[in-house]
Homo-oligomer: A and B are copies of this chain.
Amino acid sequence: MPVSLEQLNSASSDDFVAALATVFEHSPWVAAAVAPGRPFVSLASLYSAMSAAVRSASSAKRLELINCHPDLAGKAARASVLTIESKYEQGSAGLDRLSDTEYDLFQRLNGAYRQKFGIPFIICVRRHTKDSILRQFELRLKHTAEAEHETAINEILRISGLRLDQHVVAPDRLPVSGQLTTHVLNNHDGCPAEGMALTLFELGGDGTRRVITEAVTNHEGRTETPLISARPLPIGRYELRFEVGRYYADHGTPTADPPFLQSVPIEFSVAEPERHYHVPLLVTPWSFATYRGS
């Protein structure tokens, strides 16, 4: 249940800590540390204070914070003993619907990571697809323990930023969300393409495709709502597929039989989860172009 920044500022210290208990996994001490600093004028200043409290804590305290986190896609997930927040986050990348082979792979990686660094592998799951998590696992297994302790804290702060942004109603928002939008221009007729069906897929490294969303363009050639918004864009590969052939057939535009362009896929990757990716389509029955816009 969301709470307002105003309520947080005027609450008793205990209520304040209780209200923010879930922001740092099993670690109410972070909220307690910043409670005396109230009132906070913005969500950004509250988040900044909490981040400072974590960074300035003793290394033992920071290690304890790290160890409060569950394994990724681990036994806890299968046994359903995760915090609600962890459960929701791991589900966002599909870690709650792994095949047995994938589950075993994650267990091996968790084990190898814990054995090398003595801590659980922590990553802000909502910024990733399953594929990019696996890639991070492989990259980070090559690092030093010191670097990984630092990375673990950074990822915890990202996780907390997202939880805070979602949990607290405030005039400002934390810069934790990205946006994916598109726009279809019909260059054959010099107008926005209205009524073109499109589908966004997430592409897995193993050739799998998962529908993220389907939409039809409006009179401006845009979708009514962004394809992804109000959350980080998961790092990974995507396909945006436009039903160009059907659109021109519906408009009676002369083409070939079968039309040169029918279903037009655009494959692209997201690398910056907090940015705006605009992936437009400029199209005629015989040509198309796209680019990373913003």
Contact = CB atoms under 8 A, between A and B. Distances in A.
Interface of A: 132, 185, 187-192, 220-221, 235-237, 255-265, 267-269, 271-272, 282, 284-294
Contacts of A293: 185, 192
A267 B265 contact: yes
Given A256-B269, A258-B269, A268-B261, A294 B192 contact: yes
A195 to B, nearest CB: 15
Q: Most chain-B Cβ atoms within 10 A of its Cβ — which of A264, A288, A293?
A: A293
A237 B265 CA distance: 13
Tallying the copies of this chain within the complex gives 4
Nearest to A272: B256
A261 B291 CA distance: 10
Nearest to A241: B267
Nearest to A258: B269
Contacts of A294: 191-192, 220-221
Contact of A188 (B188, B237, B265, B272): B188
A269 to B, nearest CB: 4
Contact of A287 (B221, B255, B282, B285): B282
